[in-house]
Structure 1
Amino acid sequence: MDVSPTEVLLSLLLFVVAWVLFVPRLQSWYSRRSRFNSLMAKIPGRKSIPIIGDCYELVSNPQNKFLEIIAGLVKEKGALFRIWIGPFMGSVHISSWKYAEEIFNSNVHIEKSSTYDFLHKWLGTGLLTSTGAKWHSRRKLLTPAFHRAILDGFQEVFVDKSDTLLKILEAKSNQSEAFDIAPYIWQCSLDIICETSMGTKMSIQENVSKEDEAYLKSISFVAETTLYRFLRPWLHPNFIFNLTSKGRAHNNSVKLMHAYSNKVIQSRKKEYLQKLGMKSNGNSEENEDLGIKKKRQAFIDILIEAAFAEGHEKKPILSDEDIREEVDTFMFEGHDTTASAISWTIYLLGLHPETQEEVAAELTEIFGDEKIKSTQKLSELRLLDRCVREALRLYPSVPMIARKIREEVKLGEYTVPAEAELVIHMFYMHRDKEIFPEPDKFNPDNFLPEACEKRPPYAFVPFSAGSRNCIGQKFAMQEAKTVVASIVQKYKIESIQSPQELILLPELILRSENGIKVRLRPRK
């Protein structure tokens, strides 16, 4: 067959274009990949096998063995080691403040790991999962919602919901059998976040609906699924994950949670529009009627006001989707992490009756028989504050966080390559023997002022640290101390499981697989 000169020229042209466009890119990718593999090979780790990498032990065991396996790696390889999640995703794991310090002090290494991409369907790119300009603008917008004056205004809600919890626990205190207190704590905390940050009174504890229970179960399921998926590289692509039974259940859970948060948003939006209408009619009582006083301005009010405000090109600063992703983020982070901290504090006080009685004596000295309404007096509960912090040391609500490394970073004698996933294990960092000589012992004296002054700043980071620290940590501590103090004020707590009997689940939040089993006895 004859080939014309034109066809030859076109073929040569296409070849040249392909070479110019693709070969340099391929060479660049190969060069970066070679550098990545070379640096990862120098970091301690176990032998890798094709396709799976060296995460086979994590994949082949149930998730309740995750912390045990990581503990073995920490013991075997030290405070810095690597795990290959499949053939391409290299993750570096650290469990010492000496390495974490470099990350927390950086304004470069603030991007969340690709693991958080698995949360986008649920949380979108809200404050937890966003990065860059969007994260900075959201952080700036939402910071005023956690001002000290606003938190003081929330104390009344903390006390009211704690009182409701105490009434519900009263029936349990008359039983001889131990019971799991964790679900009651979770319901109380969800009740609190709905009325404070979301400005919507849900009365969840008094009337736990099937919808409420489904929402809480969905959060737990999606959290469990996220770690499950991360450890299985073949489930990373959405189109494959969505075909699995777990993927379909995950998506159904997300739909349920979105419906729940949409109900909260619409309720508050309706009140906001009523408020605007009352203002236009000159009614000066709208703040009192609707509970939207400045001192009690809810987190969601800031979002809704931004949605009605005009930004560039006269478009709303936030869309309805923007509001929902922040509401979903804070509905999760605002109740789940705090409920975890409360539950673990209750557990540890139930294991240590002497400390529990000292806390009860401190409460009597400062509050007497009064309710814990004063935030000033609450701040005087120094022993209780130390107990909560010690609970967060031993059982951090968020046991690990992960970042995406965009530039090479030197950690000790090792260089972590760009594009690596970096996992910071607070659960083990808080158990550093050099910092805490008896790392597994419950010792609130670890948080005496003189002990804290001697400690490196990043040896204890239950709320993360640096520019991406938890925006709601003061809210969480205030709520935790109020709820725990209310329980200790009324009941004696007895925990019936030893730490060795606990089965820990390091999902997005640290949980006990079998709950927190306690007995309660009235103090009077």
Structure 2
Amino acid sequence: MLPLAHLSHTSLPHATGRCCVFIKAEPSPRACLPSAAAGKGTLRAGMDFLNFSTETWTLLVALVTLFVIYLYWPYGAFKKMGVPGPKPVPLFGTMLAYKRGFMNFDLELILVLSCCPRQNFRLNGPLYDAVSIAEDDQWKRIRSVLSPSFTSGRLKEMFDIMKHHSASLISSMKKKADANQPLELKEYFGPYAMDIVTSTAFSVDIDSLNNPSDPFVTNIKKMLKFDLFNPLFLAIAFFPFLGPLFEKMEFSFFPASVTDFFYAALQKIKSSRETSQHKSRVDFLQLMIDSQKQHVPNDLENDKGLSDHEILSQAMIFLFAGYETTSSSLCFLAYNLAVNPEVMEKLQAEIDSTFPNKASAQYQEVMQMEYLDCVVNESLRLYPIASRLERVAKASVEINGLLIPKDMVVMVPTWPLHRDPDIWPEPEAFKPERFSKENKDNIDPYTYMPFGIGPRNCIGMRFALVMMKLAIVEILQKYSFSVCKETEIPLEMDIQGLLAPKRPIKLKLEPRS
């Protein structure tokens, strides 16, 4: 894998060495000495080992040689390409140096390579045809069917549904606020995101805010529980050639019980929708069903309809993406406001002027709020949920004398890119003014990509932004976020899976006078 953050110089930590302690052993009169028979048995076993046939010895040496070559050969790729960097070690490559960090960004390289299709990782199980995983013509066809779900007109139609769930969110938070108790934010923003996704996508109201044990919620959490030390993940990481074998054996990174549950549930919803007489639905699922009805068999020019399995996969990936990314982004946004009260006060002033006397939020006005947009963008800069993007080069390309061969996996590390002091002055500071109208035009689009960039950016980006902005507006109309003794400052981040804090973010809500 080729990181776009390559080195101009390398600094490696010194080894600490090994300290050996020798203990003088005195012979004990009670010590038992091996018998002569035992000695003969050991000698005979050793002789049998040495008396392997020539063929056996040849095979053994060949296997050891191949294993040693496998340990070292893959890590010589960067050296052959002339890419400077830390010296790799067998099995781990340069993974151990990531924690120290090394970067030297080339924006032209990011611009060209981030537009290549995403690599299709193996062992995706039944999600092999989801829009975020599918490739080439299949991806284009699926994306073209889904895109109309996220137009401004569709989002405006969904806004009233979102407001219903934001009202439930505030009602749930009020109980803790009235008791002056800290809130564990994910317990509120997670169900809020889940309820909006299920209701706007499938017209199903699970009310997970009041029913945290709902099967949809528990199975989503199982799906998103990523274990870096999962034996299957480690096997693929260290021995990638085993991928096709595991795929044939139908192994998957996703728990079968979870995927089976969601495919069965979504199939039931789809079947009932097809037999229903009500045609007024405008949700995500209905759009995909309609694409099937408009599909003309054997018409290659208009072959855009989704198969039954493709419909279920898109619905499933929409659930996972909508739940985790939006809820985590809301948690980070609330945290940033709590630790930067002057920013929160300025945002509340804009909210009060846009919706005087706590007037009901409206779609058009929310989306036109300039400072709110700046605040959300700055929070996503500091905490991009997808801390890195990966693409695969579909053709060999040479940039600045560096040849990127076809099929090379290229990584765009958004976390360090968003915090590079050469790009962002005072990168650790929370400064929404970076994204003001006066400054926004000066930002290179390839230095800020919380939702990815290019043709394969996040298709649900606008949907997620509406959810986030609505929740923050309606909360800040009535309350202010504040830190408490349970608030961890600064946050310690978890390195597994999507970006998340190691420990839950806890804040208090204080009623506004």
Task: Report SS of the residue matched to 2:421.
Answer: coil
Paired residue for 1:513?
502
Q: Pick the structure with greater CA Rg.
A: 2
Q: Which residue of 2 aligns with 1:232?
A: 237
Distance 1:210-1:203 versus aligned 2 partners, 3 A rule: closer
Residues 314-325 of structure 1: pairs in structure 2 closer than 5 A: 317-325=305-313
Residue in 1 that maps onto 2:449: 461
Corresponding residue for 2:84?
44
- Verify: 1:410 aligned to 2:398, yes or no: yes
**Does residue 1:209 correspond to 2:213, yes or no?**
yes
Distance 2:447 2:499 in 1: 19
Q: Does 1:141 align with 2:145?
A: yes
Partners of 1:425 and 1:521 lie apart in 2 by 37
Asked if the contact 1:372/1:378 (under 8 Å) is kept, the reply is no
From 277, 285, 291, the counterpart of 1:306: 291
**Partner SS state of residue 480, structure 1:** helix
What's the counterpart of residue 256 of structure 1?
258
Cα displacement string for residues 369-396 of structure 1 (whole angstroms, at most 9, x for unaligned residues) = 3454411111232111111100100001
Q: 1:333 to 1:310 in 2, by over 3 A?
A: same
Deviations along 1:125-170, whole A, 9 cap, x unmatched?
A: 2110011100111111111111111100111111111110111111
Query: Is 1:173 aligned with 2:161?
Result: no
- 2:381 aligns with 393
The amino acid of 2:101's aligned partner reads L
TM-score w.r.t. the length of structure 2 is: 0.77
1:419 aligns with 407
In the other structure, the counterpart of 1:10 is: none
Secondary structure of 2:101's counterpart equals helix
Pair 1:336-2:315 in alignment:
no
Q: Report the CA distance shift for 1:103/1:249 in structure 2 as closer, same or farther (over 3 A).
A: closer
1:134–1:50 Cα change, 3 Å: same
Deviation at 1:206, TM superposition (A): 2.2
Separation in 2 of the partners of 1:35 and 1:52?
9
Q: CA deviation at 1:322?
A: 1.2
Q: Conserved in 2, the CA contact under 8 Å of 1:262 and 1:324?
A: no
Question: Percent identity among equivalent residues?
Answer: 21
Aligned-residue offset at 1:456:
1.5
Q: 1:195 — aligned with what?
A: 199
CA contact (8 A) 1:39 1:415 kept: no
- Root-mean-square deviation over aligned CA pairs: 3.2
AA paired with 2:119?
Answer: S
Structure 2: unaligned runs, 5 residues or longer:
1-72
| SS of residue paired to 1:369 | helix
In 2: Cα distance, 1:165 partner to 1:72 partner: 40
Aligned residues of 1:223 and 1:509 also touching (Cα < 8 A)? no
Which has a greater percent of helix? Answer: 1
Provide the C-alpha distance between the structure 1 equivalents of 2:350 and 2:438, rounded to a whole number of angstroms. Answer: 20
1:279-328 deviation per Cα after TM superposition (whole angstroms, max 9, x unaligned): xxxxxxx45xxx51xxxx11111222233444334899333211111111
Aligned equivalents of 1:236, 1:255: Cα separation in 2: 27
Change (3 A) 1:469 1:38: closer
Counterpart-to-counterpart distance in 2, 1:416 and 1:452: 32
Paired with 2:106 and 2:305, the residues of 1 have a C-alpha distance of 41
Which residue number in structure 1 is paired with residue 131 of structure 2?
127
The answer to which of 173-182 and 156-165 deviates more is 173-182
The residue type equivalent to 1:459 in the other structure is T
- Residue by residue over 1:327-370, the C-alpha shift from the partner in whole angstroms, topping out at 9 and shown as x without a partner, is 11111122222222211111100111111111112111111234
Bigger CA drift: 431-440 or 306-315?
Answer: 306-315
Cα 1:235/1:489, change in 2 over 3 Å? farther
| Alignment-mate amino acid for residue 132 of structure 2 | L
TM-aligned CA deviation for residue 400 of structure 1:
0.9
Partner of 2:441: helix, strand, or coil?
helix
Q: Is the contact made by 2:326 and 2:468 (CA closer than 8 Å) also made in structure 1?
A: yes
2:119 matched to 1:113?
yes
Query: What does residue 495 of structure 1 align with?
Result: 483
Return closer, same or farther for 1:197/1:240 CA change in 2, 3 Å cut-off. same
1:44 is aligned with what amino acid? P
Contact 2:292 2:306 in 1 (8 A): yes
Note closer, same or farther for the CA distance 1:34–1:474 as it changes in structure 2 (3 Å cut).
Answer: closer
Partner secondary structure for residue 467 of structure 1: coil
Residues 194 and 217 of structure 2 are in contact (CA less than 8 Å); yes or no, is this contact kept in structure 1? no
Which amino acid letter does the alignment assign opposite residue 100 of structure 2?
Answer: G
2:112 maps to what in 1? 102
